């Protein structure tokens, strides 16, 4: 499976968002505050896609699967 590569323009745009701590060509590291807020809102029943979109993280740019995996990973980590 090939990873989606982000162009330098996309990386620059993503890096400017408060929700993003860092961006490489293939990875996004989210800020701790965003992860906490995301999981709080998700626990209240909000859609992960809507939460990411509101933070400026368009699923068409970062990928729906990436959002799904983030929520799953963060949920598992919170449950520990």
For the entire predicted model, the pTM comes to: 0.90
Q: What is the pLDDT of residue 6?
A: 94
pLDDT (tens digit, 9 = 90+) per residue, 20-40? 999 999 999 999 999 999 999
| Domain residue extents for the chain | 8-79
The DSSP secondary structure of 18-69, one letter per residue, reads TTEEEE-SS-EEE-HHHHHHHHHHHHTT--HHHHHHHTT--HHHH-HHHHHH
Going by pLDDT thresholds of 50, 70 and 90, the confidence category of residue 77 is confident
pLDDT averaged over every residue in the chain = 94
Going by pLDDT thresholds of 50, 70 and 90, the confidence category of residue 2 is low
């Amino acid at each position: 499976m090939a990873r989606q590569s982000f162009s330098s323009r996309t990386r620059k745009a993503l890096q400017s968002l408060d929700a993003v701590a860092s961006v490489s060509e293939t990875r996004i590291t989210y800020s701790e505050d965003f992860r906490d807020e995301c999981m709080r809102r998700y626990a209240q029943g909000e859609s992960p896609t809507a939460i990411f979109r509101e933070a400026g993280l368009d699923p068409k740019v970062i990928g729906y699967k990436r959002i799904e995996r983030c929520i799953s990973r963060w949920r598992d980590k919170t449950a520990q």
